Amino acid sequence: MTSLSSEKNILLLLADDLGKYVGCYGCPSIKTPHLDRLASQGVRFTSAFASTASCSGSRSTIYTGLHTHENGQYGLRMHRTHFQTFEHVDSLPKLLRERGYLTVIGGKLHVGPPNVYSWEVVEESETRDVAWVADRCESFVQQARSESKPWYLTVGFIDPHRDVTTRGGFGNQKTYDKRVSLLDVRPEDIEIPSWLSDLPETRKEFVEYYQAIHRMDAGVGMILDALARQGMTENTMVIFTSDKGPPFVNSKTTLYEAGMNLPLIVRTPGLKPGLENPNMVSFIDILPSCLEWTGIDTAARTRNSSSPPRLGRSFFPILGETTLLDESKWQHHIFGSHTFHELQNYWPTRVLRTRKYKYHRNLAWRLDFPFATDLYASLTFEGIRNTDGPVMIGGRQLKDYIFRPAEELYDLDEDPQELHNLAPEAGHRDLLLELRRKLEDWQRQTKDLWWNRDGVSLTMLARYAKDGLAIPDRLDFDVENPSTRGVRLVQLDLEDHSRVKS
């Protein structure tokens, strides 16, 4: 065992439904002094993206380095759904525990099964008393010191998720430790984002939301102070992020920017403080970054494991970058994968996001886009649906939120709210085809069950490749022209069953 001072620890702080409502991310009306201080001591990524905007799914991508359609955590792990990660998948707590780390999770867990996410200590709790959470974190660090072990601690904050037992609450009416204060904020102090409608109901809920964010931020400060008291600041990498965007329509459960473009703050010893890093990173990059920080080589384990190969890359070597790296040095595109939220919220979509463009492939576009239960019941949505005239969610008509086309293409430089779909326009046909091809190449590479032609999974049809099955070369099944005669066909490749050829 190496000396305690040389061991490299990991503290992962994970907010729930925060989005970019943080002072250092350009929201001056919110009070997050501890996160702002953390950013001033480390690096703040401005282009960090979740793979999916759903709680269990997003957490699973962080812990496994795999998209949800690879790791099997297709939707929320709840008693009525039974969604959980495939048992053959490796996870960060499992890999670190096998190498002698004390692995601990406290607060929100929301992934399973336990043999995949095999933290040594699991203290699952729904408490929003962040002072109690901080005290428990300090005790875990003390335990690791007493056992002379390096440690990996995940803190799953409940805040600022909605209180699901009330329509507009965020847990602010409960009594907490005296170290936890309630933010004094008025409806007129709130900044309503452009992707959401500015209504009295929205401002009422955002007051509660701000207070929950402030409480979570206080917990971050208490935990970091505890880390300093234990003399662990100089050998611990601290990562802070959120699992998805704010708990409002047009954000949470969508792969629009508000749902997936999230905060990512990283502090490591020796890093120049106060950096802003514009390079694109994905949540599947967090696991390999943690492994590189610890110096653990898992190459042999990966070769001999039945767990899928991870496509994420460690961002650890580029932490100190403040300018965009050349494409030859760093990949400037990310993918997103969403299939379920709650069990009844089936709406699979895949996304390719470059620096400039965003391509959505909506596989079940003939279905209404579903409402997460807490969003449908919210006071904000009640206010939105009862407005006069065309019902709008920010700049998007409600009907365009509910009814979406098979493909969406947006120029994010000109249209950051993703309102003007370029996919049907002839002038963008070549770009559409290029991005579609890149997305499908990624689906093939990751063995996505929703890699479709003619509305059917090519991955599942691979068993018939030897029989020369030919499939109409179109995305969706055409009920007006179901025939395979007179249309362009593709065949499954007999040499590589995961490919198709014309």
Look up the CATH number of the domain holding residue 250. Answer: 3.40.720.10
Predicted confidence at residue 3, as pLDDT, reads 39
The residue among 138 and 491 whose pLDDT is bigger is 138
**Same domain, yes or no, for 39 and 177?**
yes
Contacts of 141 by beta carbon, 8 Å cutoff, 6+ apart = 151, 153, 226, 227, 230, 232
**Same domain, yes or no, for 161 and 294?**
yes
> Is 119 contained in some domain?
yes
Confidence of residue 346 (pLDDT cuts 50, 70, 90): very high
Sequence letter at residue 166: T
**Residue 502 above 70 pLDDT?**
no
CA distance 372 to 251: 11
Lowest mean pLDDT among 28-32, 208-212, 264-268, 497-501: 497-501
Residue after which a domain boundary falls, among 338, 370, 393: 338
> Is 371 contained in some domain?
no
**Predicted confidence (pLDDT) per residue in 246-304, tens digit:** 999 999 999 999 999 999 999 999 999 999 999 999 999 999 999 999 998 877 666 66
**Predicted confidence (pLDDT) per residue in 65-74, tens digit:** 999 999 999 9
Q: Which residues are catalytic?
A: 55
Residue with tokens 């309503």: 192
**Residue 104 above 60 pLDDT?**
yes
**Predicted confidence (pLDDT) per residue in 402-416, tens digit:** 999 999 999 999 999
Q: Confirm if 145 and 128 have CB atoms less than 8 A apart.
A: no
Confidence of residue 2 (pLDDT cuts 50, 70, 90): very low
**Same domain, yes or no, for 224 and 83?**
yes
Q: Alpha-carbon torsion 445, 84, 339, 103, what sign?
A: negative
The residue among 287 and 78 whose pLDDT is bigger is 287
> Is 476 contained in some domain?
yes
**Predicted confidence (pLDDT) per residue in 13-51, tens digit:** 999 999 999 999 999 999 999 999 999 999 999 999 999
Cis peptide before 113 (omega within 30 of 0): yes
CB atoms within 10 A of CB 251: 24
| Count of domains for the chain | 2
Predicted TM-score (pTM) of this structure: 0.96
- The DSSP bridge partners found for residue 363 are none
> Is 424 contained in some domain?
no
CB atoms within 10 A of CB 45: 23
> Is 361 contained in some domain?
no
**Residue 496 above 70 pLDDT?**
no
Lowest mean pLDDT among 118-127, 140-149, 300-309: 300-309
| 458 torsion bin: left (phi>0), alpha (psi -120 to 50), beta (else) | alpha
**Same domain, yes or no, for 459 and 328?**
no
> Is 230 contained in some domain?
yes
Strands of 407-411's sheet in order across? 333-338, 349-354, 357-362, 407-411
Contacts of 26 by beta carbon, 8 Å cutoff, 6+ apart = 20
Question: What is the percent of the chain where pLDDT is above 90?
Answer: 90
**Residue 335 above 90 pLDDT?**
yes
Distance set, CA 104 to CA 41, 97, 146 (Å): 25, 10, 15
CA distance 168 to 378: 6
**Predicted confidence (pLDDT) per residue in 147-196, tens digit:** 999 999 999 999 999 998 999 999 999 999 999 999 999 999 999 999 99
Residue after which a domain boundary falls, among 289, 311, 338: 338
**Residue 4 above 90 pLDDT?**
no
> Is 368 contained in some domain?
no
Question: What is the percent of the chain where pLDDT is above 70?
Answer: 96
Reduced DSSP (H G I as helix, E B as strand, rest coil) percent helix, strand, coil of the chain, to 5: 30, 20, 50
**Same domain, yes or no, for 325 and 459?**
no
> Is 404 contained in some domain?
no
Give the residue numbers spanning the domain of 473. Answer: 451-502
Please state at what angle helix 33-41 crosses helix 200-229, rounded to 10 degrees. 50
Q: Do you know the residue count of the chain?
A: 502
Q: Confirm if 281 and 315 have CB atoms less than 8 A apart.
A: yes
Residue after which a domain boundary falls, among 338, 355, 372: 338
